Amino acid sequence: MTRWQQIARETVGPDYAQRYAERFRAMAARGDDVHGEAAFVAGLVDPPARVLDAGCGTGRVAIRLAELGYDVLGVDVDAAMLAMARDEAPELDWRVGDLAVLDTGQRFDVVVVAGNTIPLLEPGSLESAAAHLAAQLDEGGLLACGFGLDAAHLPGDCPVTPLADVDRAFAAAGLAPVDRFSTWDRAPYDETAGYVVTLHSR
């Protein structure tokens, strides 16, 4: 069982994938903005740029990007989460894959890693995931990652992955820092922030 599956089963239950999809549908129905990540990507490149949604889960980000005209691929290691994505958008490309060994055979303009996928990686796999994410980017391509930096911004008992570790792993993967925010709508980052959105380029 992955770290995500363990946390999701403990905090939500065995039907966690369905409940995750339902939670975002309910938020959208209430009028909440659930597309901050897609809007962030849309501010980086114009459609029909190629975007990899890495750790896509139920497809929330990729589906929105496809609606905006982007050419998207969604990859996740959790078949139950991906089944929700496939149900909602069967016309899109969804693949089961582990970011720590990922080889899509394609190159992307943007790789987006949303929804705490970084701290949910398996222990000891950050460096390998960073290298494999970087390898999916075209020269000059952008990697955008958003994740919590404290317990209030992480699911269940997910451990914090220190930002310095992520910076080191990305540097080792040949990625250069471009910018950093504390929200997907580009609020400035400072060291008290409980959430970070990192932007790197290859």
Ligand X SMILES: C[S@@+](CC[C@H](N)C(=O)[O-])C[C@H]1O[C@@H](n2cnc3c(N)ncnc32)[C@H](O)[C@@H]1O
- Closer to ligand X by Cβ: residue 36 or 47: 36
Q: What are phi and psi of 199, to 5 degrees?
A: -130, 120
- Closer to ligand X by Cβ: residue 65 or 77: 77
Pairing of strands 108-113, 50-54: parallel
CB of residue 26 vs ligand X: minimum separation in angstroms?
Answer: 14
CB of residue 159 vs ligand X: minimum separation in angstroms?
Answer: 13
In the numeric block, the tokens 């987006």 are attached to 112
CB 187 within 8 A of CB 181: yes
CB of residue 138 vs ligand X: minimum separation in angstroms?
Answer: 21
Using CB under 6 A as the criterion, which residues of the chain lie in contact with ligand X when the complex forms?
A: 2, 4, 55-57, 60-61, 76-78, 81, 98-100, 114-117, 120-121
Helix (H, G, I), strand (E, B) or coil at 82: helix
CB of residue 74 vs ligand X: minimum separation in angstroms?
Answer: 9
Pairing of strands 137-148, 108-113: parallel
- Closer to ligand X by Cβ: residue 16 or 189: 16
CB of residue 102 vs ligand X: minimum separation in angstroms?
Answer: 7
Report the C-alpha gap between 89 and 123 in whole angstroms: 31
Report the C-alpha gap between 127 and 149 in whole angstroms: 18
- Closer to ligand X by Cβ: residue 96 or 171: 96
Tokens of 78: 């959790």
- Closer to ligand X by Cβ: residue 56 or 72: 56
